[in-house]
Chains A and B, each alone.
Chain A
């Protein structure tokens, strides 16, 4: 024991003597002697770094025997040994290489530049690029920068629109792992609808303030063996700013021009075109304020604090469906309540009759006439899509504190808190014509229910990292939680009629995740050309909660019931006629006589079968409530070896054990070989997995959907439910993937960086959602679902995605300024390989079952819902006080595949007048972004920037499908041109 203690003490003393840090300062200049602001300085072998200020000056704490790596956009990287010096000036030679920041994602060893990695990594320097970008949120910044990246936010302003989901290579947002400073980011609580089919939980990119981020690394390769579940499509790592030693703030104000495209050649009627043209001018006015302040401590630590506040007004893109707003019974005052009392719905008509104006009375008995009399247009009673009203705030910090002056051990912590409120309008307009969801007292002209989604989001990481002997260690705990409270206004529970509240609490979802990590790594510089060994354990605990909403949001009221007041009471109204149902039909027996209610005070009859629960979105009910936990234990081993100076190999093994469905093993092998100094090939093979999330396992909800404007009520049941068991739906299992990648990187003419990478990902048992089963489809469900419909989440089938990604960067001094040209492209193909249909208890044929189990609409969304081809080409130029950015974005064509046969009516498409699927291909789109910045002084600059500046809209939906959206989703969206001005302050 004494020997052990002595050895340990000596070891610590050795560590302390090794670990003497000094503060190094200096200036970084280019090869003409001009100071370089924003240059990166990184301590070699670590991720510790800083950037130069406006005068090219920097300070950094580093081991006295270490080395510093200097890099900057458009310049060669330089590595300079410290050798105890406290002042080191660096001069960087002009080079073609861009964004040469050391990359930490995808490796647990030595940081590498992006051309040196064994897998493709994009580095998006938010801190540098943000100033000229019209995009305000991190997700859209990534879309504009990385061709494989998509972040299709629902344009319906519905529940899903409250989340900004990241997606890579056309896979789901939960098939992409998001890290913040290398630590797993927690998912949002909600299961959102995705553009590529099905539902998925997702990290919400909105809660990470752009001002807090230094750069984002996008690893385009499967990495489950390195990071665990979810990293099927890849990993994005957001690296937050460190002690910047300056205060920066920016204020942006933007808006949409709200100019409709020329629709004169479309089949939208002229009157509807006039309505669409009748806009209120610019909309979606957005204000964003961001700030960041960082301070470096004398002991080598730092604190960085950032905050962001954004609010935007609605950008409404109405749909003109031509649906009847009022209908005959409304226009003629023919509606009655459950007791047969008269409901005057058209008092204007009575007024005209009172003065004997027959012509006016006739006009008021038409939909158009009554709308006009009330000063309304079709737009006022139409469904809205577009950008919902939202308010977003986020504050974050990043802290590092050395635990002593003599050790290399430091405490670090980073975290953020965010709040977001979204008033979505993504519900069909409830027209007054729809008698089952109508109440004159509350909504005489119908109503547009609106969602309220209020989110709070908290993330916190604390840890200790440093050296234990020759070993780097990192012990950390990361906690994250997202709470989403759902509500609705402009709604009501029709079965309660006038007694219903019009604003309701629909329930709360909460997802929490705590991850404990212990990582060890050691670099053996003398083993061949360098070997890094890493190992670690992870323990993750997750909790998912669904809490019910207020009773009125999910209950069925009795406002439509007639209750007898005496024995053998006839079901007649004051007029002596049988009471009428919602469609105006008399309620009679087989002889045509009014029904008789036998027992006074007891017998009742549902005369008017009003729609129950909160309109548009049923509140979460007791049967939906959940409070589920899961624990996950992971263990990994990772090795990276530079076999020679030109050949690099890496391998990783990982196992994870889930408390609720067993364990998985994954592995990865990657290699890179330098053919010449300027050219290398790289490739990887790995398998991966994604465990079904707690949300996917436990979410259930009853929802209303529309077919040709007719509402149906369906329920998504969890796989553990009686309904699922009755029909034979099995428990969800993990998705399993295999990833293959092969690529080439090159530096050409010393100015052009080029990487071409091909990939193929095969996923077995991908999660989908079934179509809706009725009791006719599955008679065994009749006692459980009655007249309702049932759907389920399933490991529905195997899919694959493959493609080629090209990234090229070119930098050159042109005149007195620096020109940077970037081009990136993805050519991909996503394929649904086949359904895995189990033997279910249904009355359907095998083909009918397969078509319902995974309908063609879901398959189509996966394969063609977002572009398979994307290009991004951009140019930036800086000269004196001016800098500019011009970017072109090409979105390849997408398709919508219909999920049900209907009557085809659009003459612009084949087979009009026949029964068929209303499939549609939306043509490729091109948009242009522009940004110009003028530095008025050292501390203040102004930017004018625009997104989609030529106001390019995607194709119109074919007329059969214009119930909700007017324009296609999945490309540039249908909001049109957006302009923004920004002031940036720095001192």
Chain B
């Protein structure tokens, strides 16, 4: 009698164990994304001052952000820009008022928003650029418009000025 019980219970136990081995997986969230995303908190910001002889008083900041891929994102934020006007922005060799050679042409600043027009950031792919900013002998220059190269604002960067903010 006991053997019969053991036999019956064994069948049940084997079935239960075999059955319990099935796995049920949980659904995972979609994590697919390229590298380089996330919050950036490494930056160096410099002041841009008005230099417009007509007194438009355009001023603001230029911020260099270092991405996780060591790229540099350049952000320009200006007050008192002129609506519907695009202001060319360039990095110029030497200190403000001294150098004249263009180091790098950035995107144009949208006068309606005071920020770069095409994208919020201008991307510098050179992974060594950000770490060289502090010794860069340069300044940023903002022109009135593509057809009028009157400089309405400029600001020293790198070796020519202390950052207004950095992290």
Is residue B144 contacting chain A, with contact meaning CB distance below 8 A? Answer: no
Is residue B50 contacting chain A, with contact meaning CB distance below 8 A? Answer: no
> A332-B120, A342-B73, A576-B61 are contacts. A347–B12 as well, Cβ < 8 Å?
no
A539 and B120 CA atoms in complex are apart in Å by 73
A734 and B16 CA atoms in complex are apart in Å by 46
Beyond A332-B119, A354-B71, 6 extra complex contacts between A and B, CB < 8 Å: A311-B22, A314-B27, A344-B36, A350-B121, A444-B30, A576-B60
Chain A residue with the shortest CB-CB distance to B67: A344
What 1/0 flags go to A642-657 for Cβ under 8 Å of B? 0000000000000000
Within the complex, which residue of A249, A381, A391 is in contact with B12, where a contact is CB–CB below 8 Å? A249
Q: Determine how close the nearest CB of chain A comes to the CB of B75; give it in whole angstroms.
A: 6
Contact call B165/A574, Cβ cutoff below 8 A:
yes
Chain B residue with the shortest CB-CB distance to A358: B118
Contact call A289/B16, Cβ cutoff below 8 A:
yes
A332 and B119 CA atoms in complex are apart in Å by 7
What 1/0 flags go to B46-66 for Cβ under 8 Å of A? 010000000000001101010
A530 and B95 CA atoms in complex are apart in Å by 116
Note all chain B residues with C-beta closer than 8 A to A291. 12, 15
Chain B contact surface mostly: loop
Contact call A249/B73, Cβ cutoff below 8 A:
no
Contact call B36/A575, Cβ cutoff below 8 A:
no
Q: Determine how close the nearest CB of chain B comes to the CB of A503; give it in whole angstroms.
A: 10
Contact call A423/B26, Cβ cutoff below 8 A:
yes
Note all chain A residues with C-beta closer than 8 A to B38. 343-344, 440-441
> A341-B39, A440-B38, A490-B27 are contacts. A445–B32 as well, Cβ < 8 Å?
yes
> A353-B123, A574-B165, A576-B61 are contacts. A374–B40 as well, Cβ < 8 Å?
no
What 1/0 flags go to A705-740 for Cβ under 8 Å of B? 000000000000000000000000000000000000
Chain A residue with the shortest CB-CB distance to B47: A576
Chain A positions within 8 Å of B, measured between CB atoms, are 247, 249, 251, 287, 289, 291, 293, 307, 309, 311-314, 332-334, 337, 339, 341-351, 353-354, 373-376, 380-381, 389, 391, 423, 425, 440-441, 443-448, 450, 489-490, 574-577, 985, 987
Chain B positions within 8 Å of A, measured between CB atoms, are 8, 11-12, 15-16, 19-20, 22, 24, 26-41, 43, 45, 47, 60-61, 63, 65, 67-69, 71, 73, 75, 77, 114, 119-121, 123, 125, 164-165, 167
Contact call B35/A293, Cβ cutoff below 8 A:
no
Chain A-chain B contacts (Cβ-Cβ < 8 Å), number? 146
Within the complex, which residue of A312, A347, A381 is in contact with B34, where a contact is CB–CB below 8 Å? A347
> A311-B24, A353-B123, A374-B32 are contacts. A344–B61 as well, Cβ < 8 Å?
no
Within the complex, which residue of B11, B19, B35, B121 is in contact with A287, where a contact is CB–CB below 8 Å? B19
Note all chain B residues with C-beta closer than 8 A to A577. 60, 77, 114
Contact call A334/B120, Cβ cutoff below 8 A:
yes
Contact call A389/B26, Cβ cutoff below 8 A:
yes
> A293-B8, A574-B45, A577-B77 are contacts. A345–B37 as well, Cβ < 8 Å?
yes
A307 and B99 CA atoms in complex are apart in Å by 87
Chain A contact surface mostly: mixed
Chain A residue with the shortest CB-CB distance to B122: A353
A574 and B114 CA atoms in complex are apart in Å by 15
> A342-B75, A343-B38, A381-B30 are contacts. A574–B43 as well, Cβ < 8 Å?
yes
Contact call B119/A353, Cβ cutoff below 8 A:
yes
A985 and B29 CA atoms in complex are apart in Å by 42
Contact call A490/B19, Cβ cutoff below 8 A:
no
* 4 pairs of A and B residues whose beta carbons are closest in the complex: A347-B36, A576-B61, A575-B77, A374-B32
Chain A residue with the shortest CB-CB distance to B13: A291
Chain A residue with the shortest CB-CB distance to B59: A576
Contact call B123/A342, Cβ cutoff below 8 A:
no
A574 and B41 CA atoms in complex are apart in Å by 10
Q: Determine how close the nearest CB of chain A comes to the CB of B34; give it in whole angstroms.
A: 4
A351 and B32 CA atoms in complex are apart in Å by 15
Q: Determine how close the nearest CB of chain A comes to the CB of B127; give it in whole angstroms.
A: 10
Q: Determine how close the nearest CB of chain B comes to the CB of A716; give it in whole angstroms.
A: 28
Contact call B45/A575, Cβ cutoff below 8 A:
yes
Contact call A350/B123, Cβ cutoff below 8 A:
yes
Q: Determine how close the nearest CB of chain A comes to the CB of B94; give it in whole angstroms.
A: 24
A812 and B75 CA atoms in complex are apart in Å by 87
Chain B residue with the shortest CB-CB distance to A346: B37
> A249-B15, A350-B67, A448-B29 are contacts. A440–B37 as well, Cβ < 8 Å?
yes
Note all chain B residues with C-beta closer than 8 A to A351. 34, 36
Q: Determine how close the nearest CB of chain B comes to the CB of A342; give it in whole angstroms.
A: 5
A490 and B77 CA atoms in complex are apart in Å by 37
Note all chain A residues with C-beta closer than 8 A to B16. 289, 309
Chain A residue with the shortest CB-CB distance to B36: A347
Within the complex, which residue of B11, B35, B61 is in contact with A249, where a contact is CB–CB below 8 Å? B11
Note all chain B residues with C-beta closer than 8 A to A389. 24, 26
Chain A residue with the shortest CB-CB distance to B31: A444
Q: Determine how close the nearest CB of chain B comes to the CB of A424; give it in whole angstroms.
A: 11
A337 and B71 CA atoms in complex are apart in Å by 20
Within the complex, which residue of A337, A375, A575 is in contact with B32, where a contact is CB–CB below 8 Å? A375
Note all chain B residues with C-beta closer than 8 A to A347. 33-37, 69
Contact call B33/A575, Cβ cutoff below 8 A:
no
Contact call B63/A489, Cβ cutoff below 8 A:
no
Note all chain B residues with C-beta closer than 8 A to A341. 39-41, 43
Contact call B33/A576, Cβ cutoff below 8 A:
no
A975 and B19 CA atoms in complex are apart in Å by 24
Contact call B26/A574, Cβ cutoff below 8 A:
no
Q: Determine how close the nearest CB of chain B comes to the CB of A183; give it in whole angstroms.
A: 28
Most-contacted residue by chain B among A313, A342, A349, A376 (CB, 10 A): A342
A467 and B60 CA atoms in complex are apart in Å by 98
A447 and B32 CA atoms in complex are apart in Å by 12
Chain A residue with the shortest CB-CB distance to B125: A354
A351 and B165 CA atoms in complex are apart in Å by 27
Note all chain A residues with C-beta closer than 8 A to B121. 333, 342, 350
A441 and B50 CA atoms in complex are apart in Å by 39
Contact call B39/A337, Cβ cutoff below 8 A:
yes
Note all chain A residues with C-beta closer than 8 A to B71. 350, 354
Q: Determine how close the nearest CB of chain A comes to the CB of B72; give it in whole angstroms.
A: 11
Note all chain B residues with C-beta closer than 8 A to A446. 29-30
Q: Determine how close the nearest CB of chain A comes to the CB of B6; give it in whole angstroms.
A: 12
> A293-B8, A389-B24, A576-B164 are contacts. A447–B29 as well, Cβ < 8 Å?
yes
Contact call B67/A251, Cβ cutoff below 8 A:
no
24 CB-based A-B contacts, threshold 8 Å: A287-B22, A309-B19, A311-B22, A342-B40, A342-B65, A342-B121, A347-B37, A353-B123, A373-B34, A374-B33, A376-B32, A425-B27, A440-B38, A441-B38, A443-B29, A444-B32, A445-B31, A450-B26, A574-B43, A574-B63, A575-B61, A575-B75, A575-B77, A985-B11
A972 and B154 CA atoms in complex are apart in Å by 71
Chain A residue with the shortest CB-CB distance to B28: A490
Chain A residue with the shortest CB-CB distance to B77: A575
Chain B residue with the shortest CB-CB distance to A353: B123
Note all chain A residues with C-beta closer than 8 A to B68. 344
A289 and B26 CA atoms in complex are apart in Å by 22
> A309-B20, A574-B63 are contacts. A350–B11 as well, Cβ < 8 Å?
no
Chain A residue with the shortest CB-CB distance to B166: A574
Chain A residue with the shortest CB-CB distance to B65: A342
Contact call A490/B123, Cβ cutoff below 8 A:
no
Q: Determine how close the nearest CB of chain A comes to the CB of B112; give it in whole angstroms.
A: 14
Most-contacted residue by chain B among A311, A350, A574 (CB, 10 A): A574
Chain A residue with the shortest CB-CB distance to B62: A575
Most-contacted residue by chain B among A332, A446, A575, A985 (CB, 10 A): A575
Q: Determine how close the nearest CB of chain A comes to the CB of B36; give it in whole angstroms.
A: 4
Note all chain B residues with C-beta closer than 8 A to A490. 27-29
Contact call A444/B33, Cβ cutoff below 8 A:
yes
A447 and B27 CA atoms in complex are apart in Å by 11
Note all chain B residues with C-beta closer than 8 A to A346. 37
Q: Determine how close the nearest CB of chain B comes to the CB of A221; give it in whole angstroms.
A: 40
A376 and B125 CA atoms in complex are apart in Å by 27
Contact call B36/A380, Cβ cutoff below 8 A:
no
Most-contacted residue by chain A among B39, B119, B121 (CB, 10 A): B39
Note all chain A residues with C-beta closer than 8 A to B33. 347-348, 374, 444-445
